[in-house]
Amino acid sequence: MSTAVDIAGPSSSDQAHSSAKIPNAPLRPSLKRSNHPYSLSHYISTPSQAMDVKGLIQPSPAQQRAAQPAHTKPRRTPSWPDMWESPSGLHLAHAAELLMRAGLLALTPATTEQANLGAQSSQPVKREAIEARGGKGDGEGSGSGPEEEEEDSSGCGTDFQPFLGAWFPFSPALFPLAGFQMGGGHWRSAAMGTEGIEGLVAEGYSPGSLGAGSASRRKRKRCGECVPCRRQTNCDQCSSCRNRKRGHQICKYRKCEELKRKPGGPGFESRVSGFDLRGSDFTLGLSQERSNGVLDG
DNA sequence: CGTAACGTGACG
DNA sequence: CGTCACGTTACG
């Protein structure tokens, strides 16, 4: 791939004309206000450092420094595989903790501290995730302690979101690990037994739209984080652009990856793999982990 | 109310 | 499957 994310579009006469109509920030403020490490503008205005999708997803060194207390030894930049490489399995533990906090995973009190943590903060975490995504809750983060903030930005949390295209703070690989089952496009937790609201949330429905009955017709919202969503400008060349007046469609190159998928469509699993995780060394990292014996009980 | 854009169905 | 067209929803 040519380093740069296809933000410039098919050929890029864009910026000039289309920006007249298209606001600089196509996303709702609520999206822009998400807890993500970078603001939207950051994504678009960092031409100097060749950035690819992975580059966008993993926290920048600067951000890590911010997220890490100074005394931590200078970890080399955690690439995706790195997250799974941790010999101590800390990242996995972390992910499990996130699961617990979300109330999705009931672990034995082996990790009591974490269990306690989960018990007291499962609710805030859910709301946090939701609000970060476009909930109108204005979520300025008053609900989340600094600790959580730090953890989320340290690599295990929201960083997975872009790949999942959903509101998941953890990797798909954790599903099997944590005893999750896939099915029917939703996932369910062994602990819960039934589809949680998060299952639907993962389908791209905003919580607000889950309310009574009319959910079927509800509009889903752009994830705001996939490459197309990050694009600022219309290409003015695609059918959607050319046909804007009557088509009422967003530029094809700006069409959210998540919205392209049918809500009830193919299984979540296939969607995840369809998102080109394979090329991301992610699975490789996992198998490495296995061969390292880290994952084997 | 105007605009942007999602959902959906029809068409080729 | 891609495109077009329209209804509808969401938001400023």
Tell me: the pLDDT tens digits for A186-227?
Answer: 333 333 333 333 444 444 443 333 333 334 467 888 888 888
Please say if the pLDDT value at position A256 is more than 60.
yes
pLDDT by residue (tens digit) across A79-98? 333 333 333 343 444 444 44
Instruction: Provide the pLDDT for residue A263.
Output: 66
- A200 CA to B3 C1' in angstroms comes to 29
**Cα angle, residue A91 at apex, residues A30 and A127 outer, rounded to 5°:** 25
- A238 CA to C2 C1' in angstroms comes to 11
Helix (H, G, I), strand (E, B) or coil at A183: strand
Find, among A252, A255, A67, A285, the residue nearest to A173 by Cα. Answer: A285
- A191 CA to C2 C1' in angstroms comes to 43
- A292 CA to B4 C1' in angstroms comes to 51
- A116 CA to B7 C1' in angstroms comes to 43
Q: What are the two backbone dihedrals, phi and then psi, of residue A186, each rounded to the nearest 5 degrees?
A: -120, 165
Q: Which nucleotide is nearest to A243 (CA to C1')?
A: C4
Q: Which residue blocks in chain A are alpha helix, DSSP H?
A: 14-21, 29-32, 40-44, 53-57, 61-67, 80-85, 90-101, 112-132, 146-151, 161-164, 174-178, 197-202, 227-230, 239-242, 244-247, 257-260, 268-274, 282-291
Please say if the pLDDT value at position A255 is more than 50.
yes
- pTM of this structure: 0.38
- A178 CA to B4 C1' in angstroms comes to 41
Look up the protein residue whose alpha carbon has the minimum distance to the C1' of C2: A239
A239 touches strand C (CB under 7 A): yes
Q: Do the beta carbons of residue A54 and residue A80 sit within 8 Å? A: yes
Instruction: Provide the pLDDT for residue A219.
Output: 84
> Counting Cβ atoms within 10 Å, is residue A82 exposed (0-12), middle (13-18) or buried (19+)?
middle
Question: Of residues 238 to 267 in chain A, which lie within 7 A of strand B by their beta carbon?
Answer: 247-250, 254-256, 259, 263
- The segment with the largest mean pLDDT, out of A150-164, A192-206, A241-255, A279-293, is A241-255
- A219 CA to C10 C1' in angstroms comes to 8
Q: What is the mean pLDDT of residues A138-157?
A: 34
Question: Of residues 14 to 33 in chain A, which lie within 7 A of strand B by their beta carbon?
Answer: 21-22, 26
Question: Of residues 154 to 213 in chain A, which lie within 7 A of strand B by their beta carbon?
Answer: 204
- Point out which residues pair with A186 in neighbouring strands: A183
Q: For the CA atoms of chain A, what is the radius of gyration? A: 19
